[in-house]
Structure 1
């Protein structure tokens, strides 16, 4: 599976999103109802485990949108 496919699988699982086609890079907690503080941490843990990276706390606190998440993964060497 590609990194994007893995990323999408994690997003779908953590936030119980049925149709990923409706999700845009600019979407954040205001657009994704299930995105709360607990699911934010669950997402980070899932990404760290799957991609074998460790995301710094300051980067975790800057994940405001789907695009931010993708950019942060790229920062850690994960091509999305």
Structure 2
């Protein structure tokens, strides 16, 4: 499975998004109703486990949108 597929599955499963085609980089908690603080923690944990990343606290706090998460993963060497 490609990294993008893995990433999209985690996003869909954690944030209760039914269709991967509806995921847009500019989407954040304002657009995704299930993206609350608990879901954010679950998202960070799932992404860290899947891609072997230990996120810095500053990076976690800067994950405002799907696109931000992709950029931060890239910083850790994960290409999405």
Equivalences, count: 80
Deviations 1:21-63 (A, max 9, x none): 1221000000000000000000000000010110000000000
Any unmatched runs of 5+ in structure 1? none
Q: Aligned pair 1:76/2:76, yes or no? A: yes
TM-score normalized by structure 2?
A: 0.97
Q: Name the SS of the counterpart of 1:17 in structure 2.
A: coil
RMSD, aligned α-carbons:
0.6
Conservation of the 8 A alpha-carbon contact between 2:9 and 2:20: no
Normalising by the residue count of structure 1, what TM-score does the alignment of the two structures yield? Answer: 0.97
- Which residue number in structure 1 is paired with residue 54 of structure 2? 54
Query: Which aligned runs of 4 or more in structure 1 are off by greater than 6 angstroms?
Result: none
